[in-house]
Amino acid sequence: MGIYESGNIFGIRINNFNNILFEKIYNKIMSDEEKKKVYLFYTQLDNKYEIHFEYYSECSSTYGEEDIFLMWCPMSFNLFLEKFSV
């Protein structure tokens, strides 16, 4: 029981502890070209040690009545590299 995400990426958010540095939400699954732009933004950041990632994904829940909804999910640095350094 719980919330399950599909793994499809509809958006990305990059932040540090205080500010959202980058945020973009799409109406469709992100293309490789869109992911490359996000990765390029990341590579140009000065301080990469305080960066956190979240992705916007389709989710389903065993708790509520809604079938599918979109939600921000935490993303590890390794998963970011795997999905965005295309």
What 3-state class would DSSP assign to 23? strand
Find out whether 48 and 22 touch, Cβ atoms under 8 Å.
Answer: no
Domain that holds residue 64: 3-84
Angle at 5 between CA 25 and CA 41, to 5 degrees: 35
Burial of residue 41, with CB atoms counted within 10 A of its CB: 0-12 exposed, 13-18 middle, 19 or more buried: middle
Number of structural domains in the chain? 1
The pTM of the full predicted model, rounded to 2 decimals, is 0.85
Q: Are 35 and 53 in contact (CB under 8 A)?
A: no
Give 61's strand partners. Answer: 3
**What are 15-63's pLDDT values in tens digits?**
998 899 999 999 999 999 999 999 999 999 988 888 999 999 998 877 7
